[in-house]
Amino acid sequence: MSPTDLPEKDAAPLSQDEMTSALFANLVIQQTNMALMFLGRVPHPETGETIQDIDSARMLIDQLEMLEVKTKGNLSKNEEKLLKQSLTSLRMSFVDAVENPQPASSPAQAPSQSQSGRDAAAAASSASTPPPPDEESRKKFTKRY
């Protein structure tokens, strides 16, 4: 929608701060949605297929973490809250995706992806047996992303 498509009452110009805040929020939401798609939590918008690419998701999460560090003290309360909530949600989804890999719903995969899919399926089947109690407690306190 272009500015000329807006009704007269909504055409009030945004201040520079409002514009940059909206752009920042858009960036964070866009990165979050892409990471969720790569974690297999959201279907691909064009194909509707669920994919899982842990390395790409990790890169997007790392980029958001870098933004958090580089913008510390320069964000509004709402911007800081959005970024923190997005990162918390992505970290939880990342841990879940690593511990419970999903097979790709795409029938045609690249050779390297199909091999990693087989490895993930083998890891999932071997992970179906419960780990020893001491290993389980160790996992609860390990950062895995």
Per residue in 88-101, pLDDT (tens digit) is: 999 999 999 999 88
**Cα-based angle 118, 32, 127 (whole degrees, multiple of 5):** 30
Per residue in 49-84, pLDDT (tens digit) is: 999 999 999 999 999 999 999 999 999 999 999 999
Per residue in 120-130, pLDDT (tens digit) is: 444 433 343 44
Q: Angle formed by the axes of helices 54-70 and 77-99, to 10°? A: 150
Q: Hey, what domains does the chain have and what are their CATH numbers? A: 15-140 (1.20.58)
What is the predicted pLDDT for the residue at 11?
A: 60
61 and 90 Cβ atoms separated by less than 8 Å: yes
Q: What is the pTM of this model?
A: 0.62
